[in-house]
Amino acid sequence: MKTAKAYETICIYGMPGVGKTSQITELVQLVKARLGADKIVRLASANADGWGVIQPSVDLGDVVPMWVPAFPWTIQVVDRLTKGWWPENPEDPASKMLPPAQQKDWAKVGAVVFDSGTDYADIIMRYMLNREAQPRSTFRGAAEGASHVYKDGAPAEGSTPGDETGYAAAGRGHFGSDQNRLEQFINQSKDIPDRFVMWTFLADKGKDTVTRTAVYGPDVIGSAINGKVPSWFGRTIHMTVDPQTKKRVMWLHNHYDAGDPVPYLANVRDHWQAPLADFLANEDARLTVLYKKLDESFAKVKARTQAQGAPK
């Protein structure tokens, strides 16, 4: 069935090494099962670790990656990627960005992954500050401009003035601007039609947007909106690794660490009449298993509703 939005929007967050990027391989299997065996997953990566952990899927052609920080005009590139645009040659930073209607392989795309949102916020901040720090630059990432700009390396005698290297430090407004931009980019990625969309994040402490109490959630630069991020997605998953057994755990609902009153946010939006367990562990800590269990959950509710008949 065609839609005007993404089929699913998934957020996976956790500390480094818990298996967030590895879930892209699971996403490949999910989209092939649900959308067709010929489907591929696009990976727009800003993750410092790249995609080495899923290189076999890249080698098979199931995952097509691009390294976002290599492309010029960072904010424009991220804006376009989150609208479904893609470079004509994702291995060439000079390649032209094309909208979906001009992409020869758009019909094969089953999902788009942005790995990781935490790194996206960081590269946007670096880009803004670097632009502001250039000699004679009029670029401003925030209304008040950078809080401190300085240059290093006086031009050699006879060289062109302005050869200095510029540096800038972020002001409070830069963090708000960065957070607003990332919120915009994530929300518009949900409008990539008829595809799965997934974002990954590191974990950090933030505040509940209503109660202002502390929570752990996906890490966006500055932490002011960390508690709000799960509301932008259809399903939010928290990944951990058990320190004793080293086994992975996929948390499906809010949960706590022993002795810590601050909750970790998670919500896979299972049906309240047939809720899932709080977590999946070991070999079950996979997207394909999660969606199988979600299907079973909703099938139970459907069967129960049919058996009860229409309300009188």
For residue 158, what pLDDT is reported?
56
Q: How far is CA 68 from the centre of its chain?
A: 13
Instruction: Please check the confidence at residue 179 and state whether its pLDDT lies above 90.
Output: no
Q: How far is CA 153 from the centre of its chain?
A: 38
How far is 197 from 42, CA to CA, in rounded Å? 10
Instruction: Please check the confidence at residue 257 and state whether its pLDDT lies above 70.
Output: yes
Per-residue confidence band for 87, with pLDDT thresholds at 50, 70 and 90: very high
How far is 87 from 105, CA to CA, in rounded Å? 12
Cβ pair 84, 100 in contact under 8 A: yes
The pLDDT of 35-44, averaged and rounded, is 96
Instruction: Please check the confidence at residue 124 and state whether its pLDDT lies above 70.
Output: yes
The pLDDT of 39-66, averaged and rounded, is 94
Cβ pair 186, 82 in contact under 8 A: yes
How far is 149 from 139, CA to CA, in rounded Å? 13
Instruction: Please check the confidence at residue 137 and state whether its pLDDT lies above 90.
Output: no
Spatial CA neighbour of 110 closest among 189, 199, 29, 23: 29
Dihedral sign for Cα 173, 178, 183, 185, please.
Answer: positive
How far is 15 from 166, CA to CA, in rounded Å? 33
Range with lowest mean pLDDT among 6-20, 58-72, 145-159: 145-159
The pLDDT of 284-310, averaged and rounded, is 88
pTM of the predicted model as reported, rounded to 2 decimal places? 0.88
- How do residues 186-224 score in pLDDT, each as one tens digit? 999 999 999 999 999 999 888 877 777 888 889 888 777
Per the rule left: phi > 0, alpha: psi between -120 and 50, beta: everything else, 219 is beta
Exposed/middle/buried for 156, CB within 10 Å: 0-12, 13-18, 19+? exposed
**Does CATH number 3.40.50.300 belong to domain 8-124+171-308?**
yes
- Give the three-class secondary structure for 260: coil
